[in-house]
Structure 1
Amino acid sequence: MKIKEFQAFLISRLGIIFALNMQSTILYFWVYSLTNSKLSLGLVGLAEVIPAIGCSLIAGHYVDQSEKRKMVITCILGYIITSICLFILALPYIEKQTTVSVIVGSIYFFVFIGGILRAFYAPSMFSLFGMIVPREHYPNATSWSSMSWQMGAVIGPLVAGFFIAFFGVYVGLFAVILFLLLIFIPLLSIGVKPILKRDKEPMLQSIKEGLKFVIQTPTLLAAQLLDMFSVLFGGAVALLPVYQKEILHVNEMGFGILRSAPGIGALLMLGLLAFLPLKTNPGKKLFLCVTGFALSIIVFGISTNFYLSFIMLLLSGMFDSVSVVIRSTILQLVTPDEMRGRVSAVNTIFVSSSNEFGDFESGLMAHWLGTVRAVVTGGLLTLGVVAFTYVKVPKLRNFTFEDNKKD
């Protein structure tokens, strides 16, 4: 925390995640209020995951050959433009003059554009992190970085619930624009960074190298696959509007509280990890925490009590935050500096597959099986993935930070 640029990085990261989570929460609420369709909630996630995955490898190639801060600034400008379009779409006059199908279709379109921006933003921020923080501080810095991310993930939904309840959707979307503009203040205090990869090799060859590195690094590949399948099957956040309205029967503020519960739990755990960093047996702790995550999701799925549901979501965030720190540290430690963009792009594919495609999977499963059965089934599948990976990948099970800090 003595590194001034790292402080600016944390503030920027917090602000970006806060604004995007606030916007995402508003959009999920808005879409469900317009359609009353569980499947429509899943399609919001699908609209983002398709471009995020489809553009990731190309984005990684360009990020490695570009100045990282400039790339982040360009992505923020893109987010501001899409946010302005969503705000205009939500204006009462526009809603009265437009059909529901046109509004929902337009929301999917702008979410799709946001997915493209995410494909470039994620590897740019990952690469910028590696150029600001000394290698020996990666585990601790990752805890701080994850904590700033979770603070945004916690505060964003809470503020979104407040705006929805007291001011409406369009005012909340206007606030997102203002918050995104404020991000430029800390971001511009970070200096321009050198481009480590100046060789203009063919795009396909560059992309192939990034994929090859991930595939040939068993610990990294297994950690990403474990994350992908556990969150893919165990994600329940996309179905919170259904739980709010049909199962728990709480108001908009209650929805915001539930939406932020995993983030609150993660923030509590990350605050502890920032001062007491993980040092021993990270591999085994990773499996233990993913197991705890799955069990908390199963209990949440069958709960009809608001307080029990909140506690289970809180615990899911605490367990997930530990695994996030371990996975992120593995990614930072094993990735060469000149390949950070491409390797992070591959990581974005895994993250997008697990998060946004997981939202689609949750909506689809709920449409077929019912909401409660879909969540419980997902948690049980996650337990199966944990057991399979634990047995099949001993290198991840026995992974240690100390052996990799020196490499």
Structure 2
Amino acid sequence: MAKKDPYAALRIKEFNIFLTLRFALVFAWSMQFIIIEWQVYSITKDPLSLGIIGLMEIIPALTMALFAGHIVDQREKRNLLAVCLALFSLISLGLFLLTWPKIVANWSTNTILYAIYALVFFGGFLRAFFGPTIFSLVALIVPKKIYPNAATWSSSTWQMASVLGPATAGVLISVIGVHWSLCFVFGLVIFALITLTQIKKKPILNPKIGEPVMQSLKEGLSFVFKTKAILGALTLDMIAVLFGGAIALLPIFAQDILKVGSEGFGVLRAAPAVGAFLTMLITAYIPISKNAGMKLLAAVFGFGVCIIVFGLSSVFWISVLALFFSGVTDGVSMVIRQTILQIKTPDHMRGRVASVNSMFVGSSNELGAFESGVTAKLMGTVTAVVFGGTMTIITALTTGIVSPSFRKLDLTKDLEAHEKAA
């Protein structure tokens, strides 16, 4: 087989524009979420309020996910993403105004809190569209034979933005405050919207334009549940993320347990993304498609161990290392999952399959945040994190025992066949 070009996707100009856009979007989104978490916990000092943030986002995201996938498959992707970015800018502007003393000086704490929750709720609807639209758009920018390489660079860009976003949020909260930090987020969203104009409109490849909604949704769900590799990877990752949602409790660790302030909070929040980002850079040179099932199970097991170590640690640098290696294991999981999705999904179903992915994995982040908030309220913060890590380990072990076919999953032949077909 010909030697792989690790920079194949980066040689396409429009793909580089796409990466710039995605970086700005994820950077802004991750910054905004961190700033909201900090502000809400500063107002309430209640762990449950952090869980409610996740709940407010997951309800609309789950409700709209399948319908969003149908709409994405029926619409032109570039313009649809532009609409989503424009609406996201309104949310960012709203949060900026909600933290302006001149506007909310006479508002009660509950009124401000409920207004923040309302905007997060609105953002959940948008999130249902972002994932499927971006997943479908990148497949229209690069040739099929370099889908895996494009997926690696796209995921790496996502992780790099996730590294810098939280760290920048922590620094800016300390330097310029919550209010002007949100103004910076608003500026990033506008920049992303302007960058998008440099990408040309794309053709709609769906042969079933105008297909009834329910029939379209049924077809998408049926495809995912019949494709065992996709279903297994999504289910395993969903359960792991659901019970490993310790990230949602980081404001508590930063303020009350490790006592490291907003700067330390930014470092803690960025540590997993640093690990995942470095892992995905390595996989651009060293593919991990061989024995993918066992590698995915090992990664989820390791993730659970890291979460337990983090929960038990009272030393800042140990906590940072534990979160870093949780990111390393999560990066392996993400690359394998994205590779499976890219090579197993037909072009005309990408929106719907990506929507199911967002339901399984993306929304489980918010549901995991809610689960962590509730368990922290009931059993204490440290116990809740250790419980979540333990459940993640049990999930990996159980999946490996009861599903030998998933244990033996190997993507090498699939990738070779996909490249020949392209």
For the aligned pair, the TM-score class normalised by the smaller chain equals: over 0.9
Point out the more displaced range, 375-384 or 192-201.
Answer: 192-201
The residue type equivalent to 1:138 in the other structure is: Y
Q: Distance in 1 between matches of 2:355 and 2:394?
A: 27
Q: 2:292 aligns with which of 276, 279, 282?
A: 282
Partner of 1:67: 76
The C-alpha deviation readout for 1:73-107, integer Å capped at 9, x for no partner, is 11110100111111111101233211110111011
Deviation of residue 276 (structure 1)?
A: 2.5
Q: Distance in 2 between matches of 1:249 and 1:140?
A: 41
The residue type equivalent to 1:38 in the other structure is: P
Partner of 2:145: 136
Residue 183 of structure 1 aligns to a residue whose secondary structure is helix
Q: How many residues align?
A: 407
Conserved 8 A contact 1:222-1:393:
no
Partner of 2:345: 335
The residue type equivalent to 2:188 in the other structure is: F
Point out the more displaced range, 231-240 or 91-100.
Answer: 91-100
Conserved 8 A contact 1:45-1:357:
yes
The residue type equivalent to 2:186 in the other structure is: I
Conserved 8 A contact 1:158-1:253:
yes
Residue 201 of structure 2 aligns to a residue whose secondary structure is coil
Conserved 8 A contact 1:53-1:352:
no
The C-alpha deviation readout for 1:23-80, integer Å capped at 9, x for no partner, is 0000000000000000000000000011011001111111000001111111110100
Identity of aligned residues (%): 47
The residue type equivalent to 1:78 in the other structure is: L
Map 1:5-154; keep pairs closer than 5 Å.
5-154=14-163
Q: Distance in 1 between matches of 2:13 and 2:408?
A: 35
Conserved 8 A contact 1:71-1:121:
no
Conserved 8 A contact 1:69-1:128:
yes
Question: What RMSD, in angstroms, separates the aligned Cα atoms of the two structures?
Answer: 1.1
Q: Distance in 1 between matches of 2:316 and 2:141?
A: 42
Say whether residues 1:172 and 2:181 are aligned partners.
yes
Residue 105 of structure 2 aligns to a residue whose secondary structure is helix
Say whether residues 1:345 and 2:362 are aligned partners.
no
Conserved 8 A contact 1:57-1:342:
yes
Deviation of residue 385 (structure 1)?
A: 0.8
Q: Distance in 1 between matches of 2:78 and 2:195?
A: 12
Say whether residues 1:223 and 2:196 are aligned partners.
no
Q: Distance in 2 between matches of 1:393 and 1:113?
A: 39
Q: Distance in 1 between matches of 2:17 and 2:407?
A: 35
Map 1:179-218; keep pairs closer than 5 Å.
179-197=188-206, 198-218=208-228
Structure 2: segments with no counterpart, 5+ residues? 1-9
Partner of 1:156: 165
The C-alpha deviation readout for 1:355-383, integer Å capped at 9, x for no partner, is 01100000000000100000000001001
Residue 275 of structure 1 aligns to a residue whose secondary structure is coil
Q: Distance in 1 between matches of 2:342 and 2:218?
A: 20
State TM-score, norm by structure 1.
0.98
Conserved 8 A contact 2:289-2:336:
no
Conserved 8 A contact 2:86-2:193:
no
Deviation of residue 278 (structure 1)?
A: 2.2
The C-alpha deviation readout for 1:106-162, integer Å capped at 9, x for no partner, is 111000110100101110000011112222222222211111001110110111111
Deviation of residue 209 (structure 1)?
A: 0.4
Say whether residues 1:315 and 2:321 are aligned partners.
no
Q: Distance in 1 between matches of 2:71 and 2:219?
A: 14
Deviation of residue 8 (structure 1)?
A: 1.2
Say whether residues 1:2 and 2:11 are aligned partners.
yes
Conserved 8 A contact 2:50-2:370:
yes
Deviation of residue 279 (structure 1)?
A: 3.7
The residue type equivalent to 1:191 in the other structure is: K
The residue type equivalent to 2:64 in the other structure is: C
Deviation of residue 397 (structure 1)?
A: 2.0
The residue type equivalent to 2:352 in the other structure is: R
Q: Distance in 2 between matches of 1:33 and 1:366?
A: 17
The residue type equivalent to 1:47 in the other structure is: M
Conserved 8 A contact 1:39-1:367:
yes
Q: Distance in 2 between matches of 1:80 and 1:395?
A: 45
Point out the more displaced range, 133-142 or 316-325.
Answer: 133-142
Partner of 2:244: 234
State TM-score, norm by structure 2.
0.94
Structure 1 residues 352 and 49 mapped into 2: Cα distance closer, same or farther (>3 Å)? farther
